[in-house]
């Protein structure tokens, strides 16, 4: 889930909680006894957090509490077993839902978050960086996924996104594959749209999170186009630029959060 981390978990954690954790959804941790005890006392072990959202939940808990947080560079991990489309969407829905839910649970914290702080990094165990060019990636399936999502979720998206953002998606979904792009600032605004409606809307939050997946595929296609031909350092710069967009648009999130008005449509199927 490296791209999901780079495009959502990392920039969101950095912008909202002020913690520059490079991989907040990584699965390797070393916990102090105090933090472990605090985590065990939380009422999350029978929920989706324990199934697929634990990593990002634990990172958020550590980043928003009175804990000293460090990160370690361990190199690139090999991908695990192949996943089905259904399992990918299920993971996405539950992990993203866990991420979004923290906005409600810790509203007082993020409303007053100071500028992002860097997190100290251990590099002792990191292997020498490999200098290689990122190869091209066929993103046809991702772009088609966005177009199919437009047809399936368009009505729901009208309830989630600001009209300007929805119009931008309509335009992108109709682009020829060779001309496709997905601006990082648009992605940040869309994430904040969905985060607000996930917490404050009248729809099933799981349905809201699941409907974000085709939009993620579109941003993923745009991301691969941006890093095509770059080195790992260049990719890291692209990821950092995405995080900056999240940071700069936090006022947009606060505005949407504070001014959100419920919608009522008695004729619509919920």
pLDDT averaged per 10 residues, the chain (length 270): 89 89 79 85 75 80 80 64 71 92 87 68 67 80 95 94 96 92 97 96 91 97 92 89 95 93 53
Distance, C-alpha 251 to centroid of its chain: 18
Nearest-angstrom CA–CA distance, 35 and 110? 20
Q: In this predicted structure, what is the pLDDT of residue 75?
A: 64
How is residue 19 written in tokens?
A: 């913690």
Q: In this predicted structure, what is the pLDDT of residue 266?
A: 40
How is residue 130 written in tokens?
A: 């490999």
Q: In this predicted structure, what is the pLDDT of residue 66?
A: 80
Nearest-angstrom CA–CA distance, 164 and 193? 12
Q: In this predicted structure, what is the pLDDT of residue 265?
A: 45
CA dihedral over 191, 118, 238, 231, signed as positive or negative: negative
Nearest-angstrom CA–CA distance, 216 and 182? 10
The dihedral region occupied by 67, where left means phi > 0, alpha psi between -120 and 50, and beta the remainder, is beta
Q: In this predicted structure, what is the pLDDT of residue 100?
A: 95
Q: Are 12 and 243 a contacting pair, CB within 8 Å?
A: no
Nearest-angstrom CA–CA distance, 39 and 61? 8
Q: In this predicted structure, what is the pLDDT of residue 40?
A: 86
Q: In this predicted structure, what is the pLDDT of residue 83?
A: 61
Q: In this predicted structure, what is the pLDDT of residue 73?
A: 73
DSSP state of 52: I
Q: In this predicted structure, what is the pLDDT of residue 77?
A: 62
CB contact set of 85 (below 8 Å; sequence gap of 6+): none
Q: In this predicted structure, what is the pLDDT of residue 38?
A: 86
Quick one: which of 112, 174, 167, 185 has its CA closest to 143? 174
Q: In this predicted structure, what is the pLDDT of residue 119?
A: 75
CB-based burial, 134-171: b 16+ in 10 Å, e otherwise: eeeeebeebbbbbbebbeebeebbebbbeeebbebbee
């Amino acid at each position: 889930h490296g791209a999901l981390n780079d495009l959502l978990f990392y920039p969101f954690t950095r912008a909202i909680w002020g913690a520059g954790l490079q991989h907040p959804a990584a699965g390797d941790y070393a916990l102090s006894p105090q933090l472990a005890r605090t985590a065990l006392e939380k009422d999350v072990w029978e929920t989706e957090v324990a199934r697929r959202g634990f990593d990002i939940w634990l990172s958020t808990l550590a980043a928003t509490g009175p804990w000293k947080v460090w990160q370690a560079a361990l190199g690139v991990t090999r991908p695990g077993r192949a996943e089905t489309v259904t399992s990918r969407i299920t993971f996405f829905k539950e992990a993203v839902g866990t991420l979004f839910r923290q906005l409600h649970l810790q509203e007082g914290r993020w409303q007053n978050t100071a500028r992002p702080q860097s997190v100290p990094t251990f590099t002792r165990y990191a292997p020498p960086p490999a200098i290689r060019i990122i190869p091209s990636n066929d993103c046809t399936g991702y772009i088609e996924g966005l177009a199919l999502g437009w047809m399936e979720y368009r009505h729901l998206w009208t309830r989630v996104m600001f009209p300007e953002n929805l119009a931008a998606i309509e335009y992108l979904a109709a682009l020829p594959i060779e001309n496709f792009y997905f601006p990082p600032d648009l992605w940040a605004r869309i994430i904040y749209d969905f985060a607000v409606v996930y917490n404050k809307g009248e729809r099933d939050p799981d349905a809201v999170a699941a409907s974000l997946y085709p939009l993620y595929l579109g941003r993923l296609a745009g991301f691969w186009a941006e890093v095509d031909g770059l080195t790992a350092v260049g990719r890291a710069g692209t990821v950092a630029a995405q995080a900056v967009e999240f940071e700069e648009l936090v006022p947009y999130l606060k505005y949407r959060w504070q001014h959100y008005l419920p919608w009522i449509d008695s004729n619509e199927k919920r």
